[in-house]
Amino acid sequence: MSSLNRLALRSLPTLAAAQQSFSTGAAAFSSSYAGSFSRSSAPLFIPSHISTHRQFNNHSAMRTYASTPSSQTPNGSDILASYSSDTHIGQDVAHAMEMLAKADAVCFDVDSTVIDEEGIDVLADTLGKGPEVTAWTTKAMDGNIKFEDALAARLEIIQPSKTDIANCLEKHPLRLSPGVDRLVEALHKRGTDVYLVSGGFRLMIEPVAEVLGVSFDRIYANTITFDESGDYTGFDSNEPTSADQGKPKALTMIKEKYGYKTMVMVGDGATDAQAKPPADAFVGFGGVVARAAVKEKACWFVHDFETMIDIVNKNSN
């Protein structure tokens, strides 16, 4: 079994106990990487935080401005003027750029943002329930149905066991969206806290968090419940992300607990757009699916993470 697949199983303690321990060192990971993927040619699931020689590859067409300490962050208009303004869309792009430049916390949606697919759809596909579940996912992400109703309906269709989830992660390792590892690395280097706030499932998100160097206590996601045999029994409705308006609730909890001054939400769905406020800016992500409803509400709508990476790097101490 490849190192990546073992990594995916680490989020399933009752199953992982049967597996041999493995090294998380850079050499071990790198040696197994080449044979770990059969589907995508994109550089995904590369743990950038263990690479000591990574160079940031900012978009060649970008105009840059002088590196400025976060205590002297330029205003949004100055930042926006440093780029080709006709390539940026949103309700208040300058404001979103300024908020990102000085954010002390950035929260990311996971499905179709941090990863390039919907985890619940991947799980449904492996169990032969793909089309039914995808229809519910589309309704939820477009904002046409309450999230809790879509979540309950999809889980009732799938009813995944622990073994089902483990097999899914082994056969279909979740893929990072291009550039998100470099964005998270840049934020961490600057001292900005990163959170994963998702309507997806904690068991499937923990391996992603581990690769990105995000601690598990900074995951706000849904918890599937199982009986002693590992069979599906339901989900924890006490999780803030299990219901509509769950993401603003989760961000409020985070902001109040840690006292962040400036928080940015990044995501592809209608539930992510709901997170402003308490987020000071919402960056809509259309690199996987460009949703019209999200584009209309986003302070800034992006199709890749390159300009965001550049702004973070240029506003680091």
Label residue 229 exposed, middle or buried (CB < 10 Å: 0-12, 13-18, 19+): exposed
Q: 33-38: which pairs have CB atoms within 8 A and are 24 or more residues apart?
A: 33/3, 33/4, 35/2, 36/2, 36/3, 36/4, 36/5, 36/173, 37/4, 37/173
Instruction: Report residue 122: phi and psi, to 5°.
Output: -60, -45
| 86, 104, 109, 164: the active-site residue | 109
Query: How many of the other CB atoms lie within 10 Å of CB of 265?
Result: 31
Q: Give the closest residue to 193 by CA, choosing from 238, 239, 257.
A: 257
Q: Is 111 a catalytic residue?
A: yes
Q: Is 109 a catalytic residue?
A: yes
What span, in angstroms and rounded, lies between the C-alpha atoms of 176 and 182? 11
| 86, 111, 116, 231: the active-site residue | 111
- Give residues with Cβ within 8 angstroms of 198, minimum separation 6: 109, 110, 111, 205, 219, 220, 221, 222, 241
- Give residues with Cβ within 8 angstroms of 129, minimum separation 6: 157, 158
Q: Are strands 281-285 and 263-267 parallel, antiparallel or unpaired?
A: parallel
Identify whether the C-beta of residue 266 lies closer than 8 Å to the C-beta of residue 250: no
> Which residues are part of the catalytic machinery?
109, 111
